């Protein structure tokens, strides 16, 4: 059975407000990690939702470019498509265009998954990258300071798709995962690595996610069908950054004193 977790969900009124809430969350989480440990190691997801947040972080008219301690940050990816970094489907390309090429983050602090390689080779090489940069020994798992996730309308997260091999992987750090639903290959962190992070947050928005978010959080535990249910961080905490549309079938949140919008909590046993 999964470990119990307290889910805190912040609900913002619209897409722009979600992106701002996510940028604020990212900035404060990274700053807290650097204050506590001198550095921050963060893994980002791709897809479309995080793009607006990345653009806000890089926008010189916004406070984040100055707030984020970029010189103490190492950026990794949660997953990548099996395509070159120049491909329109590349998570790296999206992140580079929206943020990386506009922020003072040194190239050797950007740890790209090599989607242009054979997926199994790319997964093995990324696992080596994690072992080397986190200085892991034996069967140790890396502890990221923050992992930012999205959720597909089929309940997948990272590239952990329903009824795929990667859901069963509990010892490797990174795997290649064939996704028959999309007839494609992906490279992805495994769910035990995600659960080891000090902080895990989902960034989810839009009416297309309303039902699946309800089913993942409030429906029966069936992770083969809803892989996002595998995300039960060892910290016992999980944060969701939502808009009113995606949160429409969750218990009504209450207006928050600390962040714009409203906040709710759920205890998942």
Ligand X SMILES: O=C(O)[C@H](O)[C@@H](O)[C@H](O)[C@H](O)COP(=O)(O)O
**Span interacting with ligand X, options 15-23, 122-130, 150-158, 189-197, rule CB under 6 A:** 150-158
Q: Give how far Cα 10 sits from Cα of 20, 147, 260, Å.
A: 12, 17, 9
Tell me the closest approach of the beta carbon of residue 22 to ligand X, in angstroms: 11
Nearer to ligand X, 65 or 189 (CB): 189
Site string for ligand X, 27-66 (x = CB under 6 A): ------------------xxxxx-----------------
Tell me the closest approach of the beta carbon of residue 254 to ligand X, in angstroms: 27
Cβ contacts of 40 within 8 Å, gap of 6 or more? 29, 30, 31, 33, 34, 69, 72, 73, 74, 145, 146
Q: Is 17 helix (H, G, I), strand (E, B) or coil?
A: helix
Nearer to ligand X, 152 or 264 (CB): 152
Sheet holding 79-81, edge to edge: 79-81, 184-189, 174-179
For position 91 contacting ligand X by CB under 6 A, the verdict is yes
Work out which of 115, 119, 142, 152 binds ligand X, going by CB under 6 A: 152
Tell me the closest approach of the beta carbon of residue 26 to ligand X, in angstroms: 15
Work out which of 78, 99, 179, 187 binds ligand X, going by CB under 6 A: 78
Chain position carrying tokens 């963060």: 42
For position 229 contacting ligand X by CB under 6 A, the verdict is no
Cβ contacts of 48 within 8 Å, gap of 6 or more? none
For 3, left (φ over 0), alpha (ψ -120 to 50), or beta? beta
Work out which of 150, 162, 253, 264 binds ligand X, going by CB under 6 A: 150
* Rounded Cα–Cα distance for residues 68 and 57 (Å): 8
Number of residues that bind ligand X (CB under 6 A): 14
For position 157 contacting ligand X by CB under 6 A, the verdict is yes
Q: CA 197, 201, 203 angle in degrees (round to 5)?
A: 150
* Rounded Cα–Cα distance for residues 266 and 118 (Å): 41
**Span interacting with ligand X, options 21-29, 56-64, 144-152, 217-225, rule CB under 6 A:** 144-152
Nearer to ligand X, 15 or 31 (CB): 15
For position 84 contacting ligand X by CB under 6 A, the verdict is no
Under 8 Å between Cβ of 168 and 140: no
Question: Which residues make up the interface to ligand X (CB under 6 A)?
Answer: 45-49, 78-79, 91, 150-152, 157-159
């Amino acid at each position: 059975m999964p470990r119990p977790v307290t889910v805190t969900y912040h609900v913002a009124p619209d897409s722009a407000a979600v992106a701002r809430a996510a940028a604020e969350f990212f900035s404060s989480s990274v700053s807290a990690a650097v204050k506590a440990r001198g550095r921050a190691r963060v893994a980002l997801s791709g897809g479309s939702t995080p793009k607006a947040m990345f653009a806000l972080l890089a926008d010189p008219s916004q406070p984040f470019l100055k707030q984020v301690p970029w010189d103490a940050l190492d950026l990794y990816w949660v997953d990548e498509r099996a395509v070159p970094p120049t491909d329109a489907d590349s998570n790296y390309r999206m992140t580079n265009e929206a943020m990386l090429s506009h922020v003072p983050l040194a190239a050797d602090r950007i740890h790209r998954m090599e989607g242009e390689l054979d997926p199994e080779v790319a997964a093995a090489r990324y696992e080596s990258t994690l072992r080397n940069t986190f200085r892991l020994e034996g069967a140790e798992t890396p502890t990221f300071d923050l992992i930012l996730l999205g959720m597909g309308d089929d309940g997948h997260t990272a590239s952990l798709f329903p009824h795929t091999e990667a859901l069963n992987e509990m010892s490797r750090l990174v795997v290649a995962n064939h996704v028959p639903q999309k007839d494609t290959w992906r490279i992805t962190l495994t769910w035990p690595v995600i659960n080891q992070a000090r902080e895990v947050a989902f960034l989810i928005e839009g009416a297309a996610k309303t039902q699946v978010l309800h089913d993942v959080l409030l429906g029966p535990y069936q992770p083969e069908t809803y892989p996002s249910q595998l995300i039960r961080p060892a910290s016992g905490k999980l944060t969701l950054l939502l808009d009113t549309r995606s949160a429409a079938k969750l218990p009504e949140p209450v207006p928050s004193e600390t962040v714009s919008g409203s906040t709710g909590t759920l205890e998942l046993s």
